[in-house]
Amino acid sequence: MNFIIEITDEKIRKERAKARELRRSAWWKRKLEQGRCYYCGRSFKPSELTMDHLIPLIRGGKSVKSNLVTACKECNNKKKYLLPIEWEEYLQKLKSQEVEE
């Protein structure tokens, strides 16, 4: 069985266009107004938050409301193309390193 999903540049372009549309929606504006990073939980001004795909486009994610979250730029940059489980493992590793120090 082959579980590899072929992600083409065209598919990614279409999903990015959908994400741009959602950024203009009232739904997204309400998410931004909450001012919270989905990952670290810290508060930010709406202008300091970015849109992040929980499952990245390059890994087969879609630009749908259930896959989009607000993220601070730091978390978004660190997460890159990680899947939620990989990101959780990364965060747990960071937390255990902080405890050891």
- Using only C-alpha atoms, what is the Rg of the chain? 15
Q: Quote the CA–CA distance of 62 and 40 in Å, as a whole number.
A: 23
- Look at the domain 9-100 and name its fold: DNA Binding (I), subunit A (1.10.30)
pLDDT by 10s per residue, the chain, length 101? 555 667 899 999 999 999 999 999 999 999 999 999 998 899 999 999 999 999 999 999 999 999 999 999 999 999 999 998 998 888 888 777 766 66
Task: For the chain, give every domain's residue range.
Answer: 9-100
> Taking the model in full, what pTM does it have?
0.83
Give SS3 for 38: coil
